[in-house]
Amino acid sequence: MSGGISGGFPGYRRDNSGSGAKQHVADRMKTDKGKRGGAISASNRDNGYRVKVSVGDKTQNDLCPVAKRCGGCQWMGRDYQEQLKEKEKQVRKLLAPYCRLEGILGMEQPLYYRNKVHAVFGEDKKHRPVSGIYEEYTHRIVPVDSCRIENQKADAIIVSIRELLPSFKIRPYNEDTGYGLLRHVLVRTGQVSGQIMVVLVLASPILPSKNNFVKALLKRHPEINTIVVNVNNRSTSMVLGDKEQVIYGKGYIEDTLCGKTFRISPKSFYQVNPAQTEVLYAKAMEYAALTGQETVVDAYCGTGTIGIIASDRAKQVIGVELNADAVRDARSNAKINQARNIQFYQNDAGRFLLEMEAQGARVDVVLMDPPRSGSSEEFLSAVARMAPGKVVYVSCSPETLVRDLKYMVGNGYRVERAVAVDMFPFTGHVETVCLLSKLNVEHHIEVEINLDEMDLTKAESKATYEEIKEYVLEHSGLKVSSLYIAQVKEKCGIIERVNYNLPKSENSRQPKCPLEKEVAIREALGYFQMI
């Protein structure tokens, strides 16, 4: 969600996908075609839960013969408590320069948690239909009937669809030849509502004998609430196409999260582990500590889940998201929940905040849940300029989180609290919630002093104005004036003995340093260790 500042920051990658296009743990998590079941014993721990999964003398790897080929569950053979320890260790190490990690919150029942199940369809050498998951780093299909982290009902529905294909003379799509019809099946389930949506992804819009096919599928699974045909006739790695046709039911399902009702359509972003999502959002709300008087911005808002949950506790909530489909769903969800103090806008989040600043608007709290690639430097810069008192950062990648924290800490914020949440058991992924607070530069100055080399002009002496200009020109192609450098140094709390670059009259009108040049100057100051 960014738009183009010249120069850019090392380590940053521009991301134009909104939350509606997020890929949290890639929809590649199909593993187990073995037997289900397993005894689960759980006991509460200070930092999570201890869960061992076993069936007789068999290990978890024994129960998942395709684990190595699938690659979705990297940790399927590891004790759950060990997984939690490893994830906590990883996040704690990365966040050590900024704050002390509170721990990790794990699941009581870490199996069959995914409410979104995707299967790719193809044929074996004898032209019999197969369904499963692409082998890691390939487009070879690994046959899968059941998976230990996916909703069991969803897996059973996919198997039934595969079994029905021959009788209806429906052939799976062949990527090499371009022949065939059925490409993918997507099943979404409501954890609380129990509602089920089936999405048939076809290479063409015509499903032969669709009414009879629907009847046959409903006969096997009367619990299905809606069936949608999605057309994807392009040579693409994307699962869903642009065209949809509802062939049974309403075309969407609903589920409850944190006491709120949310509508889920085929393309909606909705957390795949609702049980842990409630844990995640509860922590976010705890950190935000809303009193009912705040103006809150929900950036990367997706379908509006966390913003709508926050609306009960805030004076006003503003959601911003680049993905148009997600914004449409968010507005519908707000109406369903009668949330009248929340508005959603389709826009780039960084650009939107800058527009708010230009209009003199005030924001008290920013809630942000960016994609795995993290936030953009444009958005972070806009947040720093807007200067909300609190920023609650929900991250699905510790590495990009640390990168973004470094920027925010360098621009007037302090990391107050952080906690890890295990959203994806049996994988290496972990989510983190961080609370950042704005430092009051008038009352708070952090100084690191070397008593052996105490020098009040050390910050000034690290680089001259000419050296800063040369660095900015070389790395961003921008020419900056001494006045602009002086303005940015002042913002960063670098106090000079006499600032000869400012006009002598306090009433003199000065040109304000443009945002893209401010970003480049801050990068130079960081390079010379002046901030």
Looking at residue 162, which CATH number applies to its domain?
Answer: 2.40.50.1070
pLDDT tops 80 at residue 163: yes
Check: CB of residue 472 under 8 Å from CB of residue 427.
Answer: no
Are 441 and 299 members of one domain? yes
Domain boundary among 419, 446, 473: 446
8 class by beta-carbon count within 10 Å (0-12 exposed, 13-18 middle, 19+ buried):
buried
Residues annotated as part of the active site: 396
Calpha distance 161→182 (Å, rounded)? 10
Residues 104 and 121 in one domain: no
Each residue's pLDDT tens digit, 383-404: 998 899 999 999 989 999 999 9
Query: Residues 114, 103: contact at Cβ < 8 Å?
Result: no
User: Same domain, yes or no, for 226 and 358?
Assistant: no
Q: Which residues contact 250 (CB under 8 A, 6 or more apart)?
A: 225, 226
pLDDT in tens, 460-477: 446 888 888 988 888 778
Residue 74 has pLDDT above 70, yes or no: yes
Q: What angle do CA 370, 189, 18 make, to 5 degrees?
A: 20
pLDDT band at 130 (very low <50, low <70, confident <90, very high): very high
Same domain, yes or no, for 207 and 304? Answer: no
Its domain, for residue 69, covers: 1-112+272-446
Q: Is the pLDDT at 249 greater than 50, yes or no?
A: yes
Asked whether residue 159 carries a pLDDT value surpassing 70, the answer given is yes
Instruction: Give the pairing type, strands 104-105 and 413-421.
Output: parallel
According to the model, what pLDDT value does residue 58 have? Answer: 45
Nearest Cα to Cα of residue 494 among 445, 459, 520, 448: 459
My answer on whether 289 and 436 are in the same domain is yes
Instruction: Examine the fold and report which residue of 214, 237, 270 is the final residue of a domain before the chain moves on.
Output: 270
pLDDT of residue 496: 56
Backbone angles phi, psi at 321, to 5 degrees: -155, 140
Residues 506, 358 share a domain = no
Facing residues of 316 across strands? 295
Burial class (CB in 10 A: 0-12, 13-18, 19+), 366: buried
**Residue 76's domain is classified under what CATH number?**
3.40.50.150
169 and 312 assigned to the same domain: no
285 and 183 inside one domain: no
Indicate if 441 and 461 belong to the same structural domain. no
- Same domain for 340 and 408, yes or no, is yes
Confidence of residue 110 (pLDDT cuts 50, 70, 90): very high
- pLDDT for position 495: 58
Percent of the chain scored above 70 by pLDDT?
81
Do 434 and 291 fall into the same domain? yes
State whether 61 and 122 are in the same domain: no
Q: 394-450: per-residue pLDDT in tens?
A: 998 999 999 999 999 999 999 999 999 999 999 889 999 999 999 864 444 444 434
- Which domain-ending residue is among 446, 473, 492? 446
Q: What is the predicted pLDDT for the residue at 354?
A: 87
Nearest CA to 417 among 99, 97, 96?
99
Q: What is the mean pLDDT of residues 237-263?
A: 92
Confidence band, pLDDT 50/70/90 cuts, at residue 363 = very high
Burial classification of residue 357, based on how many CB atoms lie within 10 Å of its CB (0-12 exposed, 13-18 middle, 19 or more buried): middle
User: pLDDT tens for residues 482-503?
Assistant: 888 888 888 877 755 444 444 4
Domain count within the chain? 3
Q: What is the pTM of this model?
A: 0.71
Structure tokens at 484: 């602009």
